[in-house]
Amino acid sequence: MKQEISVTKAINRGHLIVNIPVFICIIGIPALSLFLSNQNLIPKWGIGIGFLLGFVFAWLVWSFMITKWRIWAFKNVRNVHELKKRAIQEKLIWNDGNIFEKTEIRTLEEKEELKKLEKKFDKEDVYREDYSLPPKIKIYYSKSLSFLEVLISILIIGGGIYYFAKGTNYGFILGGVMILIGIYSSVKELRKFLNKKPQIIIDNSGIETITTEFKNWSSIEGEGVIQEGYGKSTKSYLIYWFDKDESEKIEIDKLDITHHQLENIIRTYRIRHNKNCR
């Protein structure tokens, strides 16, 4: 029997065979053109051509390799729904119907292979209980992250004092703005650092957050971790619906947990609840 590949392993291989070659093209070709220009082997305008070629080759590499990865990954991974969600979150592939998704280069044979693999999406993903998790999980603000951001805020205040002390009109304005931003940010992050209340509590019975009272698993549906935004503006949220039309959506980026860890947690406690209800 063929051994199935985990979602994480498939995603890691995707970054290796798709994103790394793309990164090499985007950085390597412009760098090569800059080097050749400095050696007077190509004219200065060749640098601009190098940047353009870097982008074009990077896109071609992605267009070819992402199809190869799709076929391998969806053929060898059992939980294809999770795989597709993770691949979109980690910017390996685009959402269905996206204009960029349509630039993937596929042969007729590859199109037929992908069409056959679509049948795997008719089956629900299968998850196993994580026995290492305790009966109850309490999730707090990340102390290390809050402490780091307090330090950054203090540095901003210090920079503001430096400019303010110069005594120029520009220094007064820039320094004053930096000091105000630094004070506001440091107070905000210090409150998080000193906050000892759990922001999310999850156990075999249900979920409770700092903004929503305890809800039993039997009244919860559609629970999951989603990401919104793109690039550095991407944010992760715990989201679930309860009492038919009510919902909770709480950001988790400042908490002491990753979105992959939280996904594992909510799946495990859902499994435990379902087992107890049998």
For residue 234, what pLDDT is reported?
82
Low-confidence ranges of the chain (pLDDT < 70): 1-3, 231, 278
For residue 1, what pLDDT is reported?
43
For residue 97, what pLDDT is reported?
84
Q: How far apart are CA 98 and CA 96, in angstroms?
A: 6
For residue 228, what pLDDT is reported?
82
What ranges do the domains of the chain cover?
7-122, 132-278
- Check: CB of residue 251 under 8 Å from CB of residue 235: yes
For residue 3, what pLDDT is reported?
61
pTM of the full structure = 0.72
Strand order through the sheet with 206-209:
136-139, 200-203, 206-209, 215-216
For residue 169, what pLDDT is reported?
83
**How confident is the model over 43-63, as pLDDT tens digits?**
888 889 999 999 999 999 999
For residue 2, what pLDDT is reported?
55
